[in-house]
Amino acid sequence: MKSYRMPDPGEGLTEGEVVSWQVSPGDTVKINDVLCEVETAKSIVELPSPFAGTVAKLCAEPGETVAVGEPLVMIDDGSDDEPEFLVGHVAEETGRRRRRRRAVAVSAQRAPEEGGYPVEPEPHYDAGDAHTDAEIAPQERSAEPRAREDPPRMDRTAHVLAKPPARRLAADLGIDLAQVSGTGPQGAVTRSDVKAAAEAGHDAARDTGVSRGDAELANMSVMSRRLLGGAPTEPDGHTRKVPVRGVRKVTAKAMKDSLDTKALVTAFLTCDVTPTMELVNRLRADRRFTGLRVSPLTVWCKAVCLAMGRTPVINAAWDDAADQIVFRDRINLGIAAATPRGLMVPVVRDAQDMTMLELATEITRIVAIAKEDRLQPTDYTDGTFSITNVGVFGLDAGTPVVNRTESAILVLGAIARRPWVVGTGDDERVVPRWVTTMSLGFDHRLIDGEEGSTFLHDVAEILSDPASAMLY
């Protein structure tokens, strides 16, 4: 009998929550068969079996939090020893084989409800989808987009073919997969199928007069449903108490630490970005960008990297322990993402060396990963500067909290058609232009007002006239 214990996920994390089991007592498993999905504060990962045998006991229920080193599952392999597996998942006799990572599809044909991008509303543009898909290791940059999707996996508990995102959405919405008709390959249930079932259930509930609480829950966002769905109503009938854990717990601590240690200020600048919108349209028509997400965010990322050449302190960090300012020559752009699990910031590494095509390719990949809730630690660590987009929510600006390991963050507002004065003297006139407001939050301990203002102005200059990038 062998006991497989919760492995150390790294990043200083000490526990994980069992999301779902892929095996049941009595099942026969082989080495590297997936045993369960575990959610840490940073990501959801599949845990493969480090040895073969028969599942004797599941030591934790779905939703239960297990500390690192505590038993997860007992497997009878015919032996009496019980080794501990705290790091790694492969037994010695397998020759240290490792599971192959799976690629993720980012083609233009991918439907928005399948983890792609939301359709941008008119009549205003946003600065690119800052929301952000399946487990994937960092890969070498390529101009060619990934085109292979994960095959559906059998949900053994319900005997339903469904990929993890569809099963997770069903759990969030309280949908029984066994009652959903699948329209995917081999009859697999897709996210679209789950959403359709939820909508049908909502309509039926409205027609039959369900409780007000259930109807309100059905209208909430996925994240709100996830937070409140399992929480019982208090005796007063008006409140619910939800434990703080996972991404919410980590985010709360990080934001509080940042506010406690940094001298945060925010600068604002409104600018005409019509030339940037024209450039985006040209890139979208370029066959080299086929299958990639091309949005104003792509141009913003390039502009940020160029502008930092004149104000490198924007990419620096304050070392409290050594009382030093650490200047970095690598720009790792964090793209703030509203995911079903909460706020995540996947990172585009070495952005300073990327062409526009490479930026579009990497942003497409990293956004798709976050959408599917499959970020790995290497996908969200070591960021040096962050960009967040409140424009997708229809907001013009915001006062952001800087990441605790960084010194500045850029907020992109909605891009909308507005009256704008152009020309000078007798040629001065008011015409409709694409206009946006940017906010730069920065740590005033190391970034002076002049440096912050210079950087923001340089970014605006590049966006107002992309040809001016030749000067940087």
Residue-wise over 425-441: b if at least 16 C-beta within 10 A, else e?
eeeeeeeebbbbbbbbb
Q: How far apart are CA 125 and CA 414, in angstroms?
A: 6
Pair 72, 47: CB distance under 8 Å: yes
Q: Which of 412, 395, 403, 408 is nearest to 443 (CA)?
A: 408
Pair 311, 362: CB distance under 8 Å: no
> 81 by DSSP, 3-state: which?
coil
- Provide, for the chain, the percentages of residues in helix, strand and coil under a 3-state DSSP scheme, each rounded to the nearest 5: 30, 25, 45
Q: Which of 51, 59, 75 is nearest to 21 (CA)?
A: 59
Q: Can you list the positions of beta strands (E) in 137-204?
A: 153-155, 160-162
The set of residues, in sequence order, having a beta carbon less than 8 Å from that of 16 and lying 6+ positions away, is 6, 9, 38, 39, 40, 65, 66, 68
Pair 384, 395: CB distance under 8 Å: no
What token pair was written down for 15? 């526990």
Q: What are the backbone angles phi and psi of residue 219, rounded to the nearest 5°?
A: -90, -5
Burial of 155 (0-12, 13-18, 19+ CB in 10 A): buried
Cα angle 401, 136, 70 (rounded to 5 degrees) comes to 80
Q: Which residues are catalytic?
A: 444
End-to-end CA distance of the chain: 65
Q: Which amino acid is at 441?
A: G
Q: How far apart are CA 379 and CA 154, in angstroms?
A: 27
